Structure 1
Amino acid sequence: MTSYPVRTYRDVQQALLARHEIALLDTREEDPHARSHPLFAANFPLSRIELDAYTRLPRRDVPIVLFDAGEGLAQRAADILTSLGYTQLALLEGGLDGWIRSGGEVFRDVNVPSKAFGEFVEAQRHTPSLSAQTVSTLLAEGDDVVVLDARRFDEYQTMNIPGSISVPGAELVLRARALAPDPKTRVIVNCAGRTRSIIGTQSLVNAGLPNPVAALRNGTIGWTLAGQTLEHGSQRRFDPQAGLDHSHLDTSRGPSRALAERAGVRRATLVEAARWAADSARTTYRFDVRTPAEYERAHAPGFQGAPGGQLVQETEMFAPVRGARVVLFDDDGVRANMTASWLAQMNIEVYVVDDASAADLSASGAWRGAKPEPASTPHVRPDELAALLADPASGTLVIDVTSSANHVKAHIPGAHWLVRSRLSQGAEDLRALSDAKRYVLTCGTNALAPFVAPEIAALTGKPVHVLEGGTTAWIAAGLPTESGDQRLASPRIDRYRRPYEGTDNAQEAMTAYLEWEYGLVAQLDRDGTHGFFVI
């Protein structure tokens, strides 16, 4: 077993306070991570390290501190990261328990830095809000009101305030003047809980929108707790194909840049950003904050798509290296500046690209982050696997290592779901499966399975193959699937069930979630490492 240096709670705390680069990574799955972790600990599950490392940790010699809660995951994660070329690895002394014993504050839920920042903003700026009852009355009485939903469009489609329009976070300042051209129209911003409605509302206030603006207090949770009905499957959204009114754009651009400058945002060129990305002494993240469709149509090489609202909402997931440099791009002078103004207030060194032209947007398609090559493993085609499964004498067992949500939605008939991280904890999940002569591993698109296959082979001593193209190729071949959770070899710890998502949450869970959010500012004070400020 490789021995790694140990860093104490005080070491990590001092690095955070000094704004030195550090990646504090929780190697557990998302559900245990959400139950308890330090403020700036990014969830970095052992299960997905090879898929995420080069994008989320772009500098190989960045200082990394790994921890778990005694499961041995951090040690295994360090071994994998070492094999990927990372050199400055350490384990947190005593893991999560050591952090707590040393007096470190711990937080629950996910995306906590962003959520705590949202509460901090509201406490400092007294962001205007209206109760669900008040908003419901305004809508019922036909008042001049427009409700803008600041979540992602897929979240909006799951459930939304009746009559609302999907306008994800960074689009609000850019689009609000066109959606509410009469300055007397009241604009109400909502999300599922609190953060994105607070930040969205305060963005419109900060940018000088002349309309009366308020957040829907507690979002769709507050709406539901007030006994109001939500819509489902709505398609209303700002028209992404419609050209921006130049007068609206000009009116929004000036205040957005002024806000960024007040927050300490700096300027950069694409050439500088590329040079910084190659700097071995400093981590630089480059994000394009426009919509996914715009990004995929054309973007600057090396820039990852990160819609501005989600970047502010999930900052530690996009940029887990605290103390890193962040460079933002848009093509309108509004979205990047507004996003940057918030990131800067979250104590992040942030730059906005000013010099780009259409000719610079020479890349297209979805983000394709660099990934390591897995060890060579035999493959089987979908038709070959179908033949094996049709022959009981083949003794073939399919193991699915995709996300549990994907597996439950659709999987190869008879496939068992397993979460990779638990293979490092005695492999009980694997031993509980029926005996097999050979195993075939699959996942969604064959991205993860090749990395897990050697581990299964080492633990079982049996032949292990990987399904070529994964379950996606199986479906594309017209082969049957089944759904359901009847063959879960592992508990569904890979995903934390948020109390504000979906439509079947218990009222007690929603109320408890709101109480937790109300307490975040006090937790920030106790933790003392955030460095947040509000302009």
Structure 2
Amino acid sequence: MSDFPLRTFEDVRETLLAKREIALLDVREEDPHAQSHPLFAANLPLAKLELDAWTKLPRRSVPIVLLDAGEGAALRAAYKLKALGYTQIALLAGGLDGWIHAGGETFRDVNVPSKAFGEFVEAQRHTPSLSAETVEALLKSGDDVVVLDARRYDEYQTMNIPGSISVPGAELVLRARALAPNPATRVIVNCAGRTRSIIGTQSLVNAGLPNPVAALRNGTIGWTLAGQTLEQGSARRFDPQAGLATQDLAASRRAARALADRAGVHRASLAEAAAWADDASRTTYRFDVRTPAEYEHAHAPGFQGAPGGQLVQETEMFAPVRGARVVLFDDDGVRANMTASWLAQMNVDAYVIDDADPAALTAQGPWRGPKPQPAASDTVSPQTLAAWLEDGSTTTVVLDFTASANHVKAHIPGAWWTLRSRLSGDADDLRALPDAKRYVVTCATSALAPFAAPEVAALTGKPVYLLEGGTSAWIQAGLPVETGDARLASPRIDRYRRPYEGTDSAREAMNAYLEWEYGLVAQLERDGTHGFFVV
């Protein structure tokens, strides 16, 4: 008999339709989550629960429903969340199978609500687009064309359309008039696949940009499938220091505010938002949608950095509580209103801060979310660990709890990569490791390893030490590292490989991904819980 109540598919569905708060959380690793999950099930892996819970679930009394596919992760997560102070925790009756058997629709991939919304927008508004072949012909002919890449800058640098400029999504309406001052200049918006191209293009259309605007149909995937060459390592980006013409900024502000009003966006002050954050009856998220550099330079206390384009692209990851209140800030009157207009159309209760005094931006640096204090563990310095490994008289096994991609890129020689979520239960990946007299646990920066150390000690009964500063401290000490995946104690399921990322995606995977996106509108209709609309 579980210590936690069960909530059925019918109960969860009714809650979503009524717009009452619910955090439907899939606590499996990202790859199994991406294979099949309900539309609004946000991925909050058990392995990193302590690192993310207090940021993603800021109200301790929020109703939580946990699911897995029978691995037992949901129950383990429930006990951890209870220990973190959450009071309304339930398990999804029957887990994923129970959802399916009750007639619930399931979805593949990640960030599905946002991607499905993009397809919904295109179907409703017939967002203009051009094929990869047409865009390449325009560029080669010397036509007056500018290509704006709406992805994050790091994604743009991986591969991009030749000659394109990095202008992440929320910046498009703010910057496009300066980047294409001649109304005759054709503006093409692209991303890796479809969503950010569609939303970016429709943003410019909605905001009344006088230029002809179109999305690059199917983004860099379409470009690749057409047999055309992408650039790599490009550094072209909008100039954040460039002044915006007064008349251009005024036009963008008017358009953004009008769109926000039409979508039903509400207004708020910083004082109101601060009071809402302390409201025990309602979840409130506060996001600063400016660029990371602007945010780190100065921001309002309590506001998390969330560039607007990514907030629309990854909504359920930033704000997993469906039915919550979302408050947005900028200092230009464009980016927050444009972002909020899209969130409102996604059936999110969206607010924009008006007339904030710059003197209120008293916080600096990157977001540092609140985290619980891990239990104390014995520690070891990188130098002492190096001596232990060199000595060999006492078997020392290093367990690396970083992301698998980080481990493959560089790890302490001999270290075994391990998923914390598979330390116990039927998996118990520790059983596959060599016998040890002592264990040393590490991760990239020693954020996650302190939570894993007591669990390893309890499971093994052996001395366990925490590497001071993590693997980054080892590297900074000038000690050697290995690369590769020769010692994986766990399967690499911590991240789902997107078919559109990197430069070596298979054509079959890219085509399958596009077919999946084309089918999302029909899936939305079958699911029936989304509440999306288009202004």
User: TM-score normalized by structure 2?
Assistant: 0.99
Q: Distance in 2 between matches of 1:268 and 1:319?
A: 19
Q: Deviations over 1:304-343 (max 9, x none)?
A: 0000000000000000000000000000000000000000
Q: Distance in 2 between the 1:497 and 1:34 partners?
A: 9
Number of the residue aligned with 2:292? 292
1:103-142 matched pairs, under 5 angstroms: 103-142=103-142
State the one-letter code of the partner of 2:511. Answer: T
* 3-state SS, counterpart of residue 425 of structure 1: coil
Matched residues in 1 for 2:341 and 2:442: separation? Answer: 43
Give 3-state SS (helix, strand or coil) of 2:138's partner. helix
Question: Equivalent residue for 1:279?
Answer: 279
The answer to whether structure 1 residue 512 and structure 2 residue 523 are counterparts is no
What amino acid does structure 2 have at the position aligned with 1:473?
A
Corresponding residue number in structure 1 for 2:86: 86
- Partner residue of 1:234? 234
Q: Is the 8 A contact 1:270 1:355 kept in 2?
A: no
Structure 1 letter corresponding to 2:332: D
Aligned to 1:440: 440
1:137-196 residue CA offsets vs partner (Å, 9 max, x unmatched): 000101000000000000000000000000000000000000000000000000000000
Distance 1:50 1:243 in 2: 42
Query: CA separation in 2, counterparts of 1:93 and 1:359?
Result: 50
Aligned partner of 2:156 in structure 1 is: 156
Preserved CA contact (<8 Å) 1:73 1:424: no
CA distance in 2, matches of 1:295, 1:385: 38
Mean CA deviation greater in 189-198 or 381-390: 381-390
Shift of 1:387: 1.1
What TM-score do the two structures reach when normalised by structure 1? Answer: 0.99
Tell whether the 8 Å contact from 1:135 to 1:216 is kept in structure 2 after alignment.
yes
Using the TM superposition, give the Cα deviation of residue 420 of structure 1 relative to its aligned residue in structure 2, in angstroms.
Answer: 0.9
Deviations 1:214-270 (A, max 9, x none): 000000000000000000000000011222222211110001000000000000000
Offset at 1:428? 3.5
After TM superposition, give the deviation of residue 424 of structure 1 in Å.
Answer: 3.2
Q: Spell out, residue by residue over 1:475-512, the C-alpha distance to the aligned partner (whole angstroms, 9 max, x if none).
A: 11111111111111111000000000001011000000
Task: Give, in whole Å, the separation in 1 of the partners of 2:201 and 2:31.
Answer: 30
Contact between 1:67 and 1:92, CA under 8 Å: does it hold in 2? yes
1:333 maps to what in 2? 333
Q: Matches of 2:181 and 2:481 in 1, distance apart?
A: 50
Q: Matched residues in 2 for 1:481 and 1:243: separation?
A: 46
2:126 and 2:330 mapped to 1: Cα distance? 29
Report 1:251-400 matches (<5 A): 251-400=251-400
* Partner-residue secondary structure (3-state), 1:394: coil
Tell me by how many angstroms 1:454 deviates.
1.1
Deviation string for 1:49-108 (max 9, x for gaps)?
000000000000000000100000000000000000000000000000000000000000
Question: Aligned pair count?
Answer: 535
Partner of 2:412: 412
Tell me how far apart the structure 1 counterparts of residues 226 and 268 of structure 2 sit (CA, whole Å).
47
Partner of 1:200: helix, strand, or coil? helix
Percent identity (aligned) = 79
1-structure distance, mates of 2:488, 2:243:
48
- Secondary structure (helix, strand or coil) at the match of 2:423 reads helix
Distance 1:427 1:111 in 2: 27
Listed one character per residue, the Cα deviations across residues 361-386 of structure 1 (whole Å, up to 9, x for unaligned) are: 00000000000000111111111111
Q: In the alignment, is the contact (CA less than 8 A) between 1:2 and 1:79 conserved in 2?
A: no
SS at match of 1:272: helix
* Other-structure match for 2:212: 212
Q: CA deviation at 1:390?
A: 1.0
User: 2:401 is matched with which residue?
Assistant: 401
Is contact 1:444–1:471 with CA below 8 Å preserved after alignment?
A: yes
Q: Deviations over 1:334-358 (max 9, x none)?
A: 0000000000000000100002121
SS at match of 1:436: coil
Task: Measure the CA separation in 2 of the matches of 1:305 and 1:18.
Answer: 29
**Gaps in structure 1 of 5+ consecutive residues:** none
Partner of 1:247: 247
| Structure 2 match to 1:50 | 50
Whole-angstrom distance in 2 between the partners of 1:456 and 1:181: 60
- Measured after TM superposition, the shift of residue 2 of structure 1 is 5.3
Alpha-carbon separation, structure 1, partners of 2:109 and 2:336: 27
Q: Distance in 2 between matches of 1:168 and 1:424?
A: 42
RMSD of aligned residue pairs (Cα, Å):
0.8
Q: Give the aligned residue type for 2:148.
A: L
